[in-house]
C-alpha cells in the first residue's frame, strides 16, 4: 500500500512539473523565430526646407503641446487632448520620406513565441525619437506581414490590413482579396494586420457591431492616421481608469476624423497601448507599467 502511494506521489509530481513546463513554454518562455536585420536605407536630404503642410487641426490647437522635435527630415509635435472622458495623446508627424517610418521587432526576432519587449526598450535599441505599439504581428499565426519593405509572412487572414507605401501614400485592403507580392511590387514599405479600418476614403467605416467584442468596449487604443502624403497622425488613448475611460472603435474613428485623417487604422490596444517620445512614455499604460509587445513603429533621430 505504501509503495502504491509513493508511486502515485511521484506520478503526481512528474505530472505537475510537466504541466508547469508546458504552460511556461506555451505562454512565458521565449522560443523560436528568426532574426531580422534592420534595413539599410539611405534617405536623401530634402531639396527644400520641410514645412508643415496646411493648417494644424482645430482639435490640436485647443490641446496641450507636450513635446516637439524638428530636423531637416521631420516635424514631430506631441499633443495631449481630451475626448470622450479620456486622455488622448497625438503625434502629428510630417516626414520628408516615408521610409523614415520604421518597424522594430522585439529583439529583432520574428515568428517565435513569447518574444516580447517594451516599446521603450525597442525605441532605445533603435535610437528612436518617437515610437508607438503596432499590430503585434507575432501574436497571430496568419496574416500578411511586411516590415521595412520585406515580406515576413505571406499567409492571408480574414482581416483588413493597412499599407504604408514608399511614396508616402497609405491604403487599407482585405487580405483574402489581395496578393502580398503584388502589394510589395506596388511599393509597400510597411503592412499592418490587426484592424479594424477606422476611416476609408475620408469616411468613418468603424462599427461597434463589427462582430469583434473589443470594438464595442471602452478600451485603451492606439491607431495610425493618414492626412496626406508623408503626413501622419499617431494616436494613443488611455483607458480603464477613473481619469480616462477609454473609447470604443467608433469613438476612436471620430477622434481620427477630427485630426483630418482621410485614412485611419486601429492598432493593438488594451495594456499594449503605449506612446513613447524623447526617452519617456508619454501616456499612462493601463496596467501601470509597459506591457511587452512583439513590435512597434518608430522614427529615428535624423
Rounded mean pLDDT, 106-115: 85
Number of folded domains that form the chain? 2
Residues 4 and 122 in one domain: no
Whole-number pLDDT of residue 36: 82
DSSP state of 247: B
User: Which pLDDT band, with edges at 50, 70 and 90, does 113 fall under?
Assistant: low
Whole-number pLDDT of residue 93: 98
Instruction: Examine the pLDDT at 31 and tell me if it is beyond 50.
Output: no
Whole-angstrom Cα distance, residue 8 to residue 4? 6
Rounded mean pLDDT, 238-257: 98
Residues 23 and 106 in one domain: no
Whole-number pLDDT of residue 139: 83
Instruction: Examine the pLDDT at 3 and tell me if it is beyond 90.
Output: no
Residues 113 and 239 in one domain: yes
Contact 243, 281 (CB under 8 A): no
Whole-number pLDDT of residue 26: 42
Between CA 165 and CA 173, with CA 170 as vertex, the angle to 5 degrees is 100
Bridge pairing between strands 74-83 and 170-174 = unpaired
Q: Where are the beta strands (DSSP E) in 122-230?
A: 128-133, 145-147, 150-153, 160-165, 170-174, 188-193, 197-200, 203-204, 221-228
Domain with 229, as residue range(s), is 36-300
Residues 203 and 54 in one domain: yes
3-state SS, residue 55? coil
Whole-angstrom Cα distance, residue 209 to residue 231? 30
3-state SS, residue 271? helix
Residues 17 and 120 in one domain: no
Residues 4 and 59 in one domain: no
Rounded mean pLDDT, 172-176: 97
Rounded mean pLDDT, 83-93: 98
Instruction: Examine the pLDDT at 202 and tell me if it is beyond 90.
Output: yes
Instruction: Examine the pLDDT at 15 and tell me if it is beyond 70.
Output: no
Residues 43 and 175 in one domain: yes
C-alpha cell at 239: 483607458
Residues 151 and 209 in one domain: yes
Whole-number pLDDT of residue 1: 59
Residues 159 and 11 in one domain: no
Rounded mean pLDDT, 286-296: 96
Residues 56 and 116 in one domain: yes
Residues 47 and 19 in one domain: no
Instruction: Examine the pLDDT at 38 and tell me if it is beyond 70.
Output: yes
> Residue 7: how many CB atoms within 10 A of its CB?
10
Residues 4 and 67 in one domain: no
Helical (H) or strand (E) element with 12: helix 2-27
Bridge pairing between strands 280-281 and 231-237 = unpaired
Contact 138, 295 (CB under 8 A): yes
User: Which pLDDT band, with edges at 50, 70 and 90, does 214 fall under?
Assistant: confident
Amino acid at each position: 500500500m505504501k509503495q502504491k502511494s509513493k508511486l502515485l506521489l511521484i506520478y503526481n509530481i512528474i505530472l505537475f512539473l510537466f504541466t508547469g513546463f508546458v504552460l511556461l513554454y506555451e505562454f512565458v518562455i521565449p522560443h523560436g523565430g528568426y532574426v531580422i536585420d534592420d534595413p539599410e536605407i539611405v534617405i536623401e536630404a530634402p531639396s527644400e526646407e520641410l514645412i508643415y503642410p496646411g493648417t494644424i487641426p482645430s482639435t490640436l490647437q485647443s490641446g496641450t503641446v507636450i513635446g516637439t522635435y524638428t530636423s531637416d527630415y521631420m516635424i514631430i509635435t506631441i499633443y495631449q487632448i481630451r475626448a470622450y472622458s479620456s486622455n488622448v495623446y497625438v503625434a502629428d508627424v510630417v516626414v520628408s520620406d516615408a521610409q523614415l517610418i520604421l518597424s522594430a521587432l522585439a529583439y529583432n526576432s520574428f515568428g517565435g513565441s513569447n518574444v516580447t519587449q517594451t516599446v521603450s526598450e525597442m525605441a532605445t535599441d533603435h535610437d528612436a525619437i518617437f515610437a508607438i505599439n503596432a499590430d503585434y504581428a507575432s501574436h497571430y499565426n496568419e496574416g500578411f506581414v511586411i516590415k521595412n519593405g520585406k515580406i515576413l509572412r505571406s499567409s492571408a487572414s480574414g482581416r483588413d490590413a493597412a499599407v504604408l507605401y514608399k511614396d508616402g501614400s497609405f491604403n487599407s485592403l482585405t487580405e483574402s482579396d489581395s496578393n502580398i507580392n503584388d502589394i510589395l511590387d506596388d511599393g509597400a514599405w510597411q503592412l499592418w494586420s490587426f484592424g479594424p479600418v477606422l476611416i476609408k476614403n475620408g469616411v468613418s467605416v468603424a462599427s461597434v457591431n463589427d462582430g469583434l467584442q473589443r470594438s464595442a468596449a471602452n478600451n485603451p487604443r492606439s491607431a495610425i492616421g493618414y492626412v496626406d502624403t508623408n503626413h501622419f497622425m499617431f494616436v494613443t488613448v488611455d483607458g480603464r481608469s477613473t481619469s480616462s475611460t477609454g473609447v470604443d472603435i467608433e469613438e476612436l474613428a471620430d477622434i481620427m476624423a477630427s485630426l483630418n485623417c482621410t485614412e485611419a487604422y486601429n492598432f493593438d490596444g488594451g495594456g499594449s497601448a503605449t506612446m513613447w517620445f524623447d526617452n519617456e512614455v508619454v501616456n499612462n499604460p493601463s496596467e501601470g507599467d509597459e506591457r511587452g509587445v512583439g513590435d512597434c513603429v518608430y522614427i529615428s533621430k535624423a
